Amino acid sequence: MDKAILHELFLGNPISKWLLSVGVLLLSLLLNQLMAKFAAKLSFRVFKKVSNAQFYDEFSKLFNKPFINIINLLAIYFACNVLTFPIEWEMAKASEFGLRWLLHALFLIAFIWSITMLFLRSADFMEFVYHNSENATVSRDLATFLKELTKVLIYIGALFVLLSKAFEVDITALITGLGIGGLAIAFAAQDTLANLIGSFIIYLDKPFQVGELIDLGDIKGTVEKIGFRTTRIRTLDRTLLIVPNKKIIDSNLNNITQSSQRRVKFFLGLTYQSDPQSILGIIEDIKGAILAENPITTAEMTVRFTDFDSSSLNLFVSYYVDSNDYETMIAIKEKINIKIMEIVKSHSCDFAYPTRTIFLEKN
């Protein structure tokens, strides 16, 4: 091959520069997978103190694509930097607005985004480590919350870098302007800030965790996700409620999952035709029926004749089921209720229901 051909010009550049540029691109396409694996192996050393070697496969899977994107972008930058734009094209400088400035800005946006993806994947990997490590000192819910908070900070930082490098915005002046308008924003977003503070309180105080059954008075269900602003609760009828964190921390909360027992209480109404001895016998037999369910039910119970209602003689029944499982509690309650019906019938008494007796006086 005649070396003189390499010095011939094509679009203002020697053939040798075109070959070098195309060679860099081809080399990147052929070796980017191998180079990405090598970069991942080197980067994994940074996480060795908090991660085990068993998590390397997950690390490589998360970081492989961002590293490939960075390698390809660097190859494109080097390949284009080798070439010079022909004078005939009258291209403006990169510092002046024009096609070259636009191409330069697009490259910076793509490169900054690729670097941002590395930081985002780092947050995802740390969450994975804390979720799967046996000796993790951070709870799963807190790890998820910290991941989401870290991602928000990464996005904000990436935005500032992008404005500064790609669009040459004065960040100092921008931050100063945001500081002046900070009070107005704070007043306009009071509820959002209150919910954000509420999420911090939930994660630090830990009144409940994801997967636990809670009761907020008018809301009862299983916690599915704790977010920055809201908590998602799956109710017992399978609907999904989005509850503001501020409301949760301001409410009286009953964590049913962390309770060791479930209480059953109700009023039992008997007719006024029931005699005292029958009522006392019913009370003792109900106590015996509850004790017969040991060890599911506890000895701590209350069965008392309490009230003279307008149409019934009321017995108050209260006992504890020694299990936190809802289905177990319902099954025991059903069994005892059937026995109560048999007990009342065996004492020749009847259950009361709203009635009214009218007495007519004859003149």
Say what the pLDDT of residue 303 is: 94
Say what the pLDDT of residue 284 is: 93
Please list the residues that pair with 255 across neighbouring strands.
214
Q: What is the DSSP string of 263-301?
A: EEEEEEEE-TT--HHHHHHHHHHHHHHHHTTTTTEEEEE
Does 162 reside within a domain?
A: yes
User: What residues have CB less than 8 Å from 9, skipping those under 6 apart?
Assistant: 15
Q: What are phi and psi of 362, to 5 degrees?
A: -95, 125
Answer whether the bond into residue 295 is a cis peptide, omega within 30°.
yes
Say what the pLDDT of residue 96 is: 57
pLDDT tens profile 154-168? 988 888 888 887 777
Mean pLDDT, residues 218-244 taken together:
86
Q: Which two tokens stand for residue 179?
A: 């500081």
Q: What are phi and psi of 154, to 5 degrees?
A: -65, -45
DSSP reduced 3-state for 4: helix
Confidence of residue 280 (pLDDT cuts 50, 70, 90): very high
Say what the pLDDT of residue 76 is: 86
Length of the chain (residues): 363
Note whether 119 and 213 are same-domain residues.
Answer: no
Please list the residues that pair with 269 across neighbouring strands.
314
Which one has a higher pLDDT value, 48 or 126?
A: 126
- Comparing C-alpha atoms, which of 114, 147, 112 is closest to residue 128? 147
Q: What is the CATH number of the domain that holds 207?
A: 2.30.30.60
pLDDT tens profile 96-133? 555 667 777 888 889 999 999 999 998 888 888 887 77
Q: Which two tokens stand for residue 122?
A: 């780092």
pLDDT tens profile 191-202? 677 777 777 788
Note whether 333 and 207 are same-domain residues.
Answer: no
Q: Whole-model pTM?
A: 0.55
Return the amino acid letter for 133: S
Note whether 89 and 145 are same-domain residues.
Answer: yes
Domain that holds residue 130: 3-180
Say what the pLDDT of residue 5 is: 66
Note whether 93 and 232 are same-domain residues.
Answer: no
| CA dist., res. 283 & res. 40, Å (int) | 73
| CA dist., res. 160 & res. 169, Å (int) | 9
Confidence of residue 339 (pLDDT cuts 50, 70, 90): very high
**Angle, in degrees to the nearest 10, between helices 140-165 and 171-180:** 120
Count the domains in the chain: 3
Q: What is the CATH number of the domain that holds 277?
A: 3.30.70.100
Of 225-229, 313-317, 332-336, give the lowest mean pLDDT range: 225-229
Q: Which helix (H) or strand (E) holds 264?
A: strand 262-270
- Comparing C-alpha atoms, which of 346, 279, 353 is closest to residue 316? 279
Note whether 147 and 270 are same-domain residues.
Answer: no
| CA dist., res. 75 & res. 29, Å (int) | 9
Note whether 232 and 274 are same-domain residues.
Answer: no
| E strand residue ranges, 9-51 | 9-10, 13-14
Of 18-22, 173-177, 257-261, 299-303, give the lowest mean pLDDT range: 173-177
Note whether 278 and 314 are same-domain residues.
Answer: yes
- Comparing C-alpha atoms, which of 313, 305, 311, 314 is closest to residue 284? 305
Q: Which of 145-159, 221-235, 328-342 has the highest mean pLDDT?
A: 328-342
Note whether 165 and 38 are same-domain residues.
Answer: yes
pLDDT at residue 273 greater than cutoff 70: yes
| CA dist., res. 352 & res. 272, Å (int) | 8
Answer for the pair 118, 111: CB distance below 8 angstroms, yes or no: no
Note whether 132 and 9 are same-domain residues.
Answer: yes
Q: Which two tokens stand for residue 212?
A: 């636990």
| CA dist., res. 165 & res. 363, Å (int) | 105
Note whether 95 and 144 are same-domain residues.
Answer: yes
- Comparing C-alpha atoms, which of 110, 121, 113 is closest to residue 46? 121
Does 81 reside within a domain?
A: yes
| CA dist., res. 226 & res. 254, Å (int) | 17
Looking at the chain, the whole-number percentage of residues with pLDDT higher than 70 is 83
| CA dist., res. 79 & res. 76, Å (int) | 5
Q: Which two tokens stand for residue 234?
A: 């799956």
Note whether 133 and 169 are same-domain residues.
Answer: yes
DSSP reduced 3-state for 180: helix
Confidence of residue 340 (pLDDT cuts 50, 70, 90): very high
| CA dist., res. 22 & res. 30, Å (int) | 12
Residue burial 233-249, b: 16+ Cβ < 10 Å; e: rest: beeeeeeeeebbbbebb
Of 144-158, 169-183, 194-208, give the lowest mean pLDDT range: 169-183
Say what the pLDDT of residue 360 is: 73
